[in-house]
Amino acid sequence: MNRKEFIKTSCSLCSIAFIGASVFIESCKKGNGTTPQGPTVNFTLDLGSSSYTALKTVGGQVSLNGVVVAHTSTSYIAVAQACTHQGCAVSFNGSNQFVCPCHSGVFDINGNVLSGPPPSPLKKYTVTQNGNILTVAG
């Protein structure tokens, strides 16, 4: 192998290695980005109970069974509490976002990642209201 062939072969191998490393790093960074993460739940809570007073106010929230239930200006919503990055507890910021205190991950009210390192969405739960009773399931 002469010098020209050596350089040509080396550059080809380096390109393949670089592309492979880039794909690997990107997959580690973002995961698949589509699968929501969170526990399967089915529970009720009574808005008349003193345990859930925070939910009477728009912007209020409670955490229960690994789920954050929040009162928005239009409805009650619920998402998984554990951040999909490293599992820190997210909270509702009162402005239609869930935020993670550990590395500044931000999710919308549907659990979708808006910014930060979380690789996938939070699981969103169905919340139905019947009088003072909220049912959270999903």
* Site residues (vs ligand FES, CB under 6 A): 83, 85-86, 88, 100, 102-103, 105, 116-118
Contact (CB, 8 A) for 106 and 95: no
Instruction: Supply the minimum distance, in Å, between the C-beta of residue 65 and ligand FES.
Output: 19
Nearer residue to ligand FES within complex by CB, 8 or 103: 103
Instruction: Supply the minimum distance, in Å, between the C-beta of residue 107 and ligand FES.
Output: 9
Nearer residue to ligand FES within complex by CB, 2 or 34: 34
Burial grade of 84 (CB within 10 A; 0-12, 13-18, 19 or more)? buried
Instruction: Supply the minimum distance, in Å, between the C-beta of residue 70 and ligand FES.
Output: 17
Q: Which two tokens stand for residue 132?
A: 């003072």
Nearer residue to ligand FES within complex by CB, 62 or 80: 80
